[in-house]
Amino acid sequence: MKWLKRSALALAVLVFIALAGVGAVFWAVGTDSGTTWLVRRLVAAAPQLSIDSIRGSLLGGVRLEGVRMRTPRDELDIDSLTLEWNAPALLAGVLAFRRADATRAVYRRVPDVPGGGGGPPKLPWPLRIDEGSVAELSLTIQDTTLTFTSDTLSDSTYYDGRLALMDVVGTWGDTALAADATIDLKDDIELVVTGNWSGPVAGVAASGSLELSGTWPNLAVRHELATPFAATTTGRIARIMPEAGRPSPPCHAGRSPRSGGAGWGGAAPWAVRPAAGAPAVRAARDLAQC
């Protein structure tokens, strides 16, 4: 009978441990306090990230207020981010969210910072967003600011410094944009962007497609104008480094660089060879100028 009692005791201990484990998991994902503890632990593994407040639970939906990322070269602020957790994806080792909706996101490139050092956040698991949106996205690089509204995306991932944005749709001024982008954030930023645009050019309805690839800010460009007539342009957006001891001229949003002349104080720091009239090309050029 002793072996029977020992077996029953061992079984009771195992059941207790299992119940305790289930209770701990439910506390972490199903309660506000547990989710706050869990998110704080995840953020602690990525010191570049910080969050002012955490509300809700992973099972019921969590809202993050004051999300910030700081690296030597980049700053990102998100006013509010609402997440719906995709729990089954965790079985495959992926931290996934069915939805991720941000109210306003502001990105700034810190000027005059040499490459290297810091780096993008490192998360313990691959991150995936099944469906996402940003009400307003602002990109500022020195004196150039671009604002995109009503931005949506799907099936986008981030892991080990590599960001893949799929089915991105948004507007820039009067121009509608749709694109896929892959961005490697380690050291020099390498990116590949393919997309389509439509909007007025000089008062005429127009549309086309755009491809960008290369290491920031030296990018190969291919642009195909579809309407009001067909035309293909290829070229490069490339920075010409200033001479030693000579400061770079400032960036000017919406202005095409010229070889010398007023507004640049001498030789232009950028060689821009694609057709600059299309809105999508202008947006890429304005960003790359800084």
Q: Where are the domains of the chain?
A: 188-290
Cβ atoms 107, 139 nearer than 8 A: yes
Checking 145-150 for CB contacts under 8 A at 24+ apart, the result is 145/253, 146/172, 146/253, 146/283, 146/286, 146/287, 147/172, 148/172, 148/177
Q: Does pLDDT of 240 surpass 80?
A: no
Chain centroid to Cα 168, Å, comes to 11
Give the SS3 label for residue 53.
Answer: strand
* pTM across the whole model: 0.71
Q: Does pLDDT of 29 surpass 80?
A: no
| pLDDT over 70, % of the chain | 69
pLDDT tens by residue, 130-139 = 999 999 999 8
Looking at per-residue pLDDT, the higher value among 267 and 30 belongs to 30
**Region 201-212: what's the mean pLDDT?**
91
pLDDT of residue 220: 92
- Core vs surface per residue 235-249: b (16+ CB within 10 A) or e: bebbbeeeeeeeebb
Show the tokens assigned to 154: 């799907």
- The two beta strands, 95-109 and 127-141, are parallel
